[in-house]
Amino acid sequence: MRYSHKREAIQEIVYGTNSHPTADWVFQKAKVKIPNISLGTVYRNLKQLDDAQLINTIYDGNIARYDWNREPHDHLKCKICGDLIDVQLFDDQIRKTVKKLYKFEPDDVVMTIIGTCHKHNK
């Protein structure tokens, strides 16, 4: 993967937020620094960064979001404010269970817990 100024900028944008941004959000941010950048470039580079394991792609419903956090982790999705919160749960037991019970070789556990986050406590 050859160096590119734009890919670097895109990576910096993803690394600079905890908001699990969409491609379009990244595109809007990138345009501020590089006015003539195109959305296709953003998509292509996000894919390349994902392929290179520099970022992660997560699916929130039917829309892709990007995450700099490559440690295995899960997400809490608040149904009120839409926030996606990183959490570290214990997937190890789950991996063992599916391996034993279903003869399934797990690579990756993708877990999202939908509910109400602490901001909306009555």
For the purposes of burial, counting CB atoms within 10 Å of the CB of 104, is it exposed (0-12), middle (13-18) or buried (19 or more)?
exposed
What does the radius of gyration of the chain's CA atoms come to, in whole angstroms?
17
What are the two backbone dihedrals, phi and then psi, of residue 6, each rounded to the nearest 5 degrees? -75, -40
**Best CA proximity match to 83, nearest among 62, 65, 110:** 65
Non-local (6+) Cβ contacts of 34 within 8 A are 5, 6, 9
Q: Does 54 bind DNA (CB under 7 A)?
A: no
Q: Does 103 bind a second copy (CB under 8 A)?
A: yes
* Among residues 28, 44, 58, 91, the one that binds DNA under rule CB under 7 A: 44
Q: Which stretch binds DNA (CB under 7 A): 40-48, 67-75, 99-107, 110-118?
A: 40-48
* Among residues 33, 70, 79, 96, the one that binds a second copy under rule CB under 8 A: 79
**Site residues (vs DNA, CB under 7 A):** 1-7, 22-24, 34, 36-41, 43-45, 47-48, 62-64
**Site residues (vs a second copy, CB under 8 A):** 59, 61-64, 76, 78-79, 85, 87, 89-90, 94-95, 97-98, 101-118, 121
